[in-house]
Amino acid sequence: MQPWTDPGPASARWAPSTPLSEVPAACQEVLQAYLEQCRKEFGGIDPLLETTLDALADFILGGGKRVRPTLAWAGVRAAWEGGGGHPHDGETEGGVPPQAYLAAVSSLELIQACALIHDDIIDASDLRRGRPTVHRVFEKQHRDHSWHGSPEHYGISQALLAGDLVFAWADDMLTDSGVPTRHQVRARPAWRAMRTEVIVGQQLDIAVEARGSDDVADSLKVVKYKTASYTATRPLHLGASLGGADERTVDLLCQVGQQIGTAFQLRDDQLGVFGDPAVTGKPSGDDLRTGKRTALINSALARGTAAQRTEVHEALGSISSDADVELMRKVIIATGAQDHIEDTIQGLTDSANTALHNSWLHSSIIDELVGFASRLTNRRF
């Protein structure tokens, strides 16, 4: 089933040169249409699936920056704007409507949904974007109906399966997008690598937390595989491959994606300690309260005095008040870790921008991608 057969206003006017800024609205339309098609096809199996589809629709359509589809579309456009691909006026190669490429890149949001649903279970999170997490939604359903067994176990079990379901649907959405088979074949290595890397990255994250590793290298390995790969590297790789990019363009975008994706996660680490809950939708100092071994925390441990390291070690995972959070913020700042991570973010962003400006791609896509990357790595939410 093709997700773009009944396009909304934004996706209906999709063209090979559509700006990156229009991706979120068009992606929202495509995802809504696709989920409705899934409801029509599968919702009649049992009322339970209607509940699952409601929870997934609320979660997927209820927020998000649509970073991955935007970067994947940047990859498609880079292929067509100096990168070896060959779009045609109004239609892409082979007479395929450009909406097919929009649908293909939108499938990344279903991978993202799975990753977030499972991540919230692993972290025992109550909120995501200021709303109850999917496993808490199912847990509440169990409590409201006074069903047998543990509400917590029911919620986790149903959310795990809901995440698995959208992971499978992501593959269907890409395959059914209408992008020519030869380009989908070219994109399979990026798609396969992304799916494996995000799962392995999550496993590494769990292991680093369990071991209590203070090693910055361990934290950065988690950043690389859990976030940078599936947030930026592989979406750019996927989009470029779908657009028929040549090898040097794919290599360039993978390099740039790794830098942007790493900076993106390091910014997330900063926000996990210093972010404003009213903006981030997460509790104040969330990473400190949960004891996450982020690159920021491990940098503080590596740079701090013996007394500062002791303070950080004793506080991780045991903080319960805003006053404790504020105290630990001051300790982390005093170690120089916050400034170090800021410098690293800026350095990675500058390197990515320089590589793009020195490339053979057209200035139109370079300027848009540089602007988007800067907004990602300097965000406050």
Note the pLDDT of residue 93.
58
Mean pLDDT of the 171-196 span? 95
Mean pLDDT of the 59-66 span? 93
Question: Does residue 89 carry a pLDDT above 50?
Answer: no
What is the Cα–Cα distance from 235 to 254, expressed in whole angstroms?
A: 9
Instruction: Say which CATH topology domain 9-377 has.
Output: Farnesyl Diphosphate Synthase (1.10.600)
Note the pLDDT of residue 11.
78
Question: Does residue 34 carry a pLDDT above 80?
Answer: yes
Residue 164 identity (one-letter amino acid): D
Q: How confident is the model at residue 2 (pLDDT cuts 50, 70, 90)?
A: low
Note the pLDDT of residue 352.
98
User: In the chain, where are the structural domains located?
Assistant: 9-377
Question: Does residue 302 carry a pLDDT above 90?
Answer: yes
Mean pLDDT of all residues in the chain? 92
Mean pLDDT of the 5-23 span? 84
Q: How confident is the model at residue 304 (pLDDT cuts 50, 70, 90)?
A: very high
Render pLDDT for 110-143 as a digit per residue (tens, 0 to 9).
999 999 999 999 988 888 888 899 999 999 999 9
Q: How confident is the model at residue 91 (pLDDT cuts 50, 70, 90)?
A: low
Note the pLDDT of residue 228.
95
**Pick the residue with more confidence: 14 or 105?**
105
CA 99 to chain centre: 22
Question: Does residue 94 carry a pLDDT above 70?
Answer: no
Percent of the chain with pLDDT over 90: 78
Mean pLDDT of the 164-173 span? 97
Q: How confident is the model at residue 88 (pLDDT cuts 50, 70, 90)?
A: low
Question: Does residue 381 carry a pLDDT above 80?
Answer: no
Q: How confident is the model at residue 4 (pLDDT cuts 50, 70, 90)?
A: low
Note the pLDDT of residue 6.
65
Note the pLDDT of residue 54.
94
**Pick the residue with more confidence: 11 or 47?**
47
Render pLDDT for 329-353 as a digit per residue (tens, 0 to 9).
999 999 999 999 999 999 999 999 9
Mean pLDDT of the 220-236 span? 96
Query: Which of 160, 158, 141, 139 is closest to 150 using CA atoms?
Result: 139
Query: Which of 221, 210, 244, 278 is closest to 78 using CA atoms?
Result: 244
Note the pLDDT of residue 1.
65
Sign of CA dihedral 262, 266, 267, 272: positive
What is the Cα–Cα distance from 199 to 247, expressed in whole angstroms?
A: 27
